[in-house]
Amino acid sequence: MTELNVTRRGVVNTRRIASIHARWALLRLLFAAALLLPLSAHFGQQVIEIFLPAYTLIFEWVADDFQLLRLAVDHEGADLVLRATVMWKHIMFLGPHVIYPDPRGTANASTLVAHALQGPLTAILVAIAWPTSQPALHSSLLSWRECALRTLFMLPLLGLLIMLDMPLVLAGELWHFTLDALAPDTFCALVSWKFFMQGGGRYALAMALAGLAVFLGRGASERLQLRESSNRTGAERLA
């Protein structure tokens, strides 16, 4: 009977801790969404313009058959879009077709600025909402340290997410309508990546990178905690 009571208390405590984690995760998610979504709507254009030089470098690297004439935030009706305007850099052979560069022959591809923000916002919200390894009402110092380490790992992963999205999607869009018109049976990795990202891949990638940041932050926090515990034990023995 005693063992049964102990087991029941253990189950109750586990459920209580899980409930605390869930409530605090929901509160963090709601608070972060209420703060970040209006900010992204108001400052989205300025944020994207900051990344334009990096977008340009990545685009020119992955789509080196195109000469990038312009990459800028533009208006398309009532929508705010990121537009790439290009021409062919050199002679191209696509199936039976031979294409010569011509300054008069330009093409452009565009995507909504909102699409550029979806991945980073998803990653940030997931990282904020994900529970720490310690209950929210206990070991607050450890929880805050884990959150700080999570943020530290999240920053470079956000940069990676941003660089894998817009430049590659725009390059894939240009290759998509080029191959669709001239060589429809040709495989192109950029086109496949474009379809993946536009089909929900940016959300999946954002959640995966957020999960990686959480995992790395938790591991680093636990290693620091073990080191501190070891140092305290050593100091007590010396005393």
pLDDT digits (tens, 9 = 90+) for 204-219: 999 999 999 999 988 8
Whether pLDDT at 195 is above 70: yes
208-228 as b/e, with b when 16 or more CB fall inside 10 Å? ebbeebbebbbebbeeebeee
In this predicted structure, which of 174-183, 186-195, 228-237 has the lowest mean pLDDT? 228-237
Does the pLDDT value for residue 201 go beyond 80?
Answer: yes
Write down the pTM of the prediction. Answer: 0.82
Q: Dump pLDDT digits (tens) for 110-136.
A: 999 989 999 999 999 998 888 877 655
**Contact between 173 and 192 (Cβ < 8 Å):** no
pLDDT tens-digit map of 144-163: 788 888 889 999 999 999 99
pLDDT of res. 9: 59
Domain coordinates in residue numbering, the chain: 2-61+113-238
Q: What is the mean pLDDT of residues 173-187?
A: 89
pLDDT at residue 123, rounded to an integer? 93
Above 80 in pLDDT, residue 139? no
**Where is pLDDT greater, at 44 or 110?**
110
pLDDT-wise least confident of 25-29, 52-56, 105-109, 164-168: 25-29
Three-state SS string over the chain comes to: CHHHHHHHHHHHHHHHHHHHHHHHHHHHHHHHHHHHHHHHHHHHHHHHHHCHHHHHHHHHHHCCCEEEEEEEEEEECCEEEEEEEEEECCCEEECCEEECCCCCCCEEEEEEHHHHHHHHHHHHHHHHHCCCCCCCCCCHHHHHHHHHHHHHHHHHHHHHHHHHHHHHHHHHHHHHHHHHHHCCCCCCHHHHHHHHHHHHHHHHHHHHHHHHHHHHHHHHHHHHHHHHHHHHHHHHHHC
Question: Strand order of the sheet with strand 66-76?
Answer: 66-76, 79-88, 107-112
The mean pLDDT of the chain is: 84
pLDDT for 235 = 65
Question: Mean pLDDT across the stretch 72-83?
Answer: 90
pLDDT tens figures, 9-43: 555 556 665 566 677 778 888 888 888 888 888 88
Res. 229: pLDDT tops 80: no
pLDDT band at 86 (very low <50, low <70, confident <90, very high): very high
pLDDT confidence of residue 3: 57
